[in-house]
Amino acid sequence: MKMPKEKLISYLINLVGIVVLFLLFVALFQSGVLGSRTNYVKGIFTTACYTIVLVASLNLLVGILGEFSLGHAGFMSVGAYASAIFTNALAGKGLSDLALFVLALIIGGVAAGIAGLLVGIPALRLRGDYLAIVTVAFAEIIRVAFCNFAITGGGRTISGITKLSNFYWCFWVMVICVTIMYMFVRSRFGRTVKAIREDYIAAAASGINVTFYKVLTFTISAFFAGIGGAMYAHYMTAMIPTNFNFNYSAELLTEVIIGGTGSFTGSIIGAAFLSSLPELMRQFSNYRMLAYSIVLVIVMIFRPGGIFGSWEFSLVRVLKKAKNGELFAKKNKGGAENE
């Protein structure tokens, strides 16, 4: 509201931070430091990018609206299948790869958003555990339906999806998605939704249409989950409905909670870390599920609100501290976060 100039500067600083981070990645991959492992590492980072979008979108529900969804993989699969069917129909029809990719993302997002709206309107009269059960049921219905529709491969693997997701594009899609979600949370809408989370009676007494905002947030969350699903489909190039099972939904929820409910910094780092952890621990493959569970238990004992709680990383704050000489040897992690 006030000091728009300062706001503009902080946006610019963040943009520069993100570009620098991006160039670091480009340098890493172009320099050949990683040798024959370049593509492997790129793949892990791409996985991290779409996982971040998925986890951040789930965080909108869990952290901001305060409702649990155990069916986020369901929305993801709607986006994944819708976009895959779309690109399979249009591939080789003269559209450039980038245009096709962007369109596929939008199709995936819109399809999942519509699914979110359809589930949200009846389901959001419920709260807490009951809503969580409905979301589980929804994801299961979607999975079973996709196992039986001919257009989705009828339970067999749908393969040959054009490979459009690469790390560079996914990075920017991730940045754009997270920025939009972050701006949503910081806006008047975000504050309104938080008020509903805090006390829905008082929110209604203040003139807030509680159901409308709940459905809206649910739809937005599903929309971004669909985009994440579209990125997934065009990265994997092949998928089967059982990929999007309850375990996957639970994994996403775990990443939100480990990172910190309500913190996008937490979602980004939680998703990036936990999605690459299984790869990093490949040499201990026998023990990695054990390590994973131990990490979860330790975090829940010592940081029940998640590693970051609801704290947000701010590049501007770090720079200010650095200017005043208050910053010690701290390096900034997760530079994709924006003030």
Partner 1 sequence: MLELKDVNVHYGAIHAIHDVSLTVNDGEIVSLIGANGAGKTTILHTITGLKKSTSGSILYNGKDLTKVEPSKIITLGMAHVPEGRHIFPTMTVAENLEIGAYIRNNKEEIAKTLESVYEKFPRLKERRKQLAGTLSGGEQQMLAVGRAMMSKPDIILMDEPSMGLSPLLVKEIFKIIKEVHAAGITVLLVEQNAKMALSIADRAYVLETGRIAMSGDAKDLLNDPKVKKAYLGL
Can you give the binding site for partner 1, defined by CB under 8 A? Answer: 1, 191-192, 194-195, 198-199, 201-210
Q: At what angle do helices 38-59 and 264-280 cross, to 10 degrees?
A: 140
Q: How far is the CB of 190 from partner 1 (least distance, A)?
A: 11
Tally Cβ neighbours within 10 Å of residue 34: 13
Tally Cβ neighbours within 10 Å of residue 323: 9
Tally Cβ neighbours within 10 Å of residue 138: 22
**Residues β-bridged to residue 239:** 158
Please tell me the distance from the alpha carbon of residue 3 to that of residue 263, in angstroms, as a whole number: 25
C-alpha triplet 230, 37, 283: angle, nearest 5°: 95
Nearer to partner 1, 21 or 208 (CB): 208
- Amino acid code (one letter) for 19: V
The DSSP secondary structure of 231-258, one letter per residue, reads HHHHHHS-B-GGGGSHHHHHHHHHHHHH
Look at residues 264, 319, 231 and name the one whose alpha carbon lies nearest to residue 20. 319
Q: How far is the CB of 212 from partner 1 (least distance, A)?
A: 9
Q: How far is the CB of 17 from partner 1 (least distance, A)?
A: 26
Nearer to partner 1, 224 or 264 (CB): 264
Nearer to partner 1, 89 or 205 (CB): 205
Q: How far is the CB of 265 from partner 1 (least distance, A)?
A: 17
Nearer to partner 1, 181 or 203 (CB): 203
- Is residue 112 within 8 Å of residue 78, measured between CB atoms? yes
Nearer to partner 1, 150 or 201 (CB): 201
- Is residue 270 within 8 Å of residue 259, measured between CB atoms? yes
Nearer to partner 1, 146 or 182 (CB): 182
Q: How far is the CB of 128 from partner 1 (least distance, A)?
A: 17
Q: How far is the CB of 262 from partner 1 (least distance, A)?
A: 9
